[in-house]
Amino acid sequence: MSESPRPQAAARVSVVVIAYNDAAHVGDAVRSALAQGDAVGEVLVVDDASGDDTPGVLAGFADEPRVRPLIRRENSGGCGTPRNDGVDAAVHPYVLFLDSDDLLLPGAVDGLLAVADEQDADVVAGICVRRELPEGRETVWAPSLYDASQGATLPGTVLDGIEKHPEFVLDTLSVNKLYRRDFLDRHAIRFPDGAFHYEDFVFSARVQAAAPRLAVTDVPVYVWHVRRQAATLSISLRRASLANWEHRIAAHAAVVDVFRTAGRPALARAAQTKFLDYDLPMYLRELPQRTAAYRADWWTATRAHLAGFDSAAVADAQAPGRWLYAGLAALPAAPEGRELTRFVELAAPLPRLVPPYPRGEDGAPVLSAAPADVPLEGLAELAPAELPLAVDGAVTVGASTRLTLTVHELYGRVAALRPTAVRVSFTERVSADELSADAPLLPVDEGWTATVSLPTAKLLRAGRLAAWSVRAELRYADGSTGEAEVRAPQGFVGRRGMVLGRLGRVLLVQVVASARRGLVLRFAGGAVGARQVMSGRFKRLFAAR
């Protein structure tokens, strides 16, 4: 490892970059750190024994005195050890973390330092943007905490510890924050070493347990690149492996232990509640994509983990999380078929209870029928906006795209609210363009129906395949509303075809269901659509060989 330089007067931040076999991206990460300006006194690049040309890329920065490569001779097996190496070698008062395949946004360091100085903060937390590649779609990480347009209220506040805002345990990232190095040293806060996955969870818990003076800001800090088509997926994207879930469970158990050991039981409970509302549904809704053996082992591992949960943590969870917990506790083996579908759709980002709607022997609504009889406790008390509505969609496409909706009754709750109309929103997945249409709701057997239509030309995007997800906002007689993702009732079977648009233009149309049974409409015109559809067919053919 290189000799530590003497700090420069203007330099205040050490940026710790970790890299392993990432020659294609690490240079961009380093340049994004250097571009922050004079406040960055050093960029410590910890190469975790790469076998590709990562060392060669770092050698290309030999003329940049602020770049300090730290070369590990043996791979650590995880991200924690190289980050710890960087913190231990840092010489400046503040530390910022950066992964080799991500970027710091322009002005991030100056923005964070300004808040740190003004608030005398130990930690300053800013905005992380998740950028899906290759599409380029961007979303704010943990919008309930950081995105004011989504109702976040914490930006601009300073917290002396997070116990009055336990919802902050949702933010398990280490990379969107500036840390005072002596705070980390004073509390002996480091990442778990070795082959420990989801190390951010434990590091963040150790920071939160130490009750830092934490400033939350709307400064854009970090771009988290999500490469779902990469040859080697990041740890957070390897959800098809049962080991990934087991690692996540182990990390969550360690988080709870950190809070309990620090004498912060309220944060331990908040972490368990977060697991029920966030982690559990994320994996559960993907179960239909896994093998029966995976589902059986997943169910067993999850039940064992949930058995140790505090009853108060379960009570604090949102209704879908409470019901999923009760279902896992009641069913010793993973359900299949229709029963599994009910669990999966309840775990969707917009949870929904789908027909049929069983009742227990006492007539009460239940998630799963006998012999388990998992009660839907609290259903009667949910506000209109919280109801897990099920809205089915049927599509016909020609010059116009016609969508017929069926809104299902929900144990009498929808009828009591007297639904009057619906607004249907179509959102294009890459551009985030949105189109909407309104229609009255008319009663039919066991529900309501409505039909909307749009000119198909409005759903096309020049030069590429356009994919649209669909949501429905129900409007009730008292002025309240409820929202649902429109579902494809036939499940995971896609439908593809060609139709004639205006002036005889050939359109390629595909109506599919997402993994969680959400309705997705795909449109392409002419040669572009043909190429993309044929490309998809060839890929499937080669994958089958």
What's the pLDDT score for residue 524? 83
Mean pLDDT for the chain overall: 90
Token pair belonging to 98: 């950066």
Which of 433, 322, 332, 423 is closest to 375 using CA atoms? Answer: 322
Q: How does strand 40-47 pair with strand 506-513?
A: unpaired
What's the pLDDT score for residue 209? 98
Write out pLDDT tens, residues 82-122: 999 999 999 999 999 999 999 999 999 999 999 999 999 99
Distances (CA, A) of 373 to 233, 326, 359, 454, 513: 40, 10, 8, 43, 29
Token pair belonging to 113: 């330092």
Residue 120: Cβ-neighbour burial (10 angstroms; 0-12, 13-18, 19+): exposed
What's the pLDDT score for residue 339? 87
Q: Who has greater pLDDT, 125 or 465?
A: 125
Q: Name the E strands within 75-181.
A: 94-99, 103-104, 123-133, 138-140, 157-160, 177-180
Question: C-alpha angle 265/199/163, rounded to 5°?
Answer: 25
Helices (H) and strands (E) in the chain, counts: 16, 21
Q: Return contacts of 497-503, CB within 8 angstroms, 24+ apart.
A: 497/397, 499/397, 499/398, 499/456, 500/398, 500/399, 501/398, 501/399, 501/456, 501/457, 501/525, 502/399, 502/457
Distances (CA, A) of 271 to 11, 172, 252, 264: 37, 10, 8, 11
Q: What is the mean pLDDT of residues 131-135?
A: 86
Using alpha carbons only, how large is the chain's radius of gyration in Å? Answer: 25
Q: What is the mean pLDDT of residues 420-442?
A: 94
Neighbours of 518 (CB within 10 A): 22
CA distance 300 to 328: 9
Lowest mean pLDDT among 14-18, 60-64, 202-206, 452-456: 452-456
Residues 107, 39: contact at Cβ < 8 Å? no
What's the pLDDT score for residue 2? 46
3-state DSSP call for residue 285?
Answer: coil
Distances (CA, A) of 219 to 36, 104, 112, 120, 265: 14, 12, 7, 17, 31
Q: How does strand 447-455 pair with strand 442-444?
A: antiparallel
Token pair belonging to 187: 């509390």
Q: What is the mean pLDDT of residues 182-198?
A: 97
Write out pLDDT tens, residues 304-350: 999 999 999 999 999 999 999 999 999 999 999 888 988 999 999 99
CA distance 362 to 26: 62
What's the pLDDT score for residue 516? 76
Ranges of H-type helices in 155-279 = 181-186, 199-209, 242-261, 265-274
Q: Who has greater pLDDT, 206 or 534?
A: 206
Q: What is the mean pLDDT of residues 356-375?
A: 85
What's the pLDDT score for residue 383? 97
In angstroms, how far is CA 457 from the centroid of its own chain? 32
Neighbours of 119 (CB within 10 A): 16
DSSP secondary structure letter of residue 278:
I
Q: How many CA atoms lie within 13 A of 230 on its CB side?
A: 18
What's the pLDDT score for residue 236? 53
Write out pLDDT tens, residues 470-518: 999 999 999 999 999 999 886 544 455 555 455 445 567 888 888 778 9
CA distance 9 to 258: 37
> Does 232 score more than 80 pLDDT?
no
CA distance 320 to 161: 29
CA distance 365 to 382: 14
The secondary structure of the chain in percent helix, strand, coil, rounded to multiples of 5, reads 35, 30, 35
CA distance 412 to 401: 32
Q: What is the mean pLDDT of residues 399-412?
A: 94
Which of 215, 219, 118 is closest to 161 using CA atoms? Answer: 215
Residues 182, 117: contact at Cβ < 8 Å? no
Residues 19, 94: contact at Cβ < 8 Å? no
What is the pLDDT confidence band of residue 528, given thresholds at 50, 70 and 90? low
Which of 452, 481, 449 is closest to 468 using CA atoms? Answer: 452
Neighbours of 76 (CB within 10 A): 21
Q: What is the mean pLDDT of residues 265-290?
A: 96
What is the pLDDT confidence band of residue 431, given thresholds at 50, 70 and 90? confident
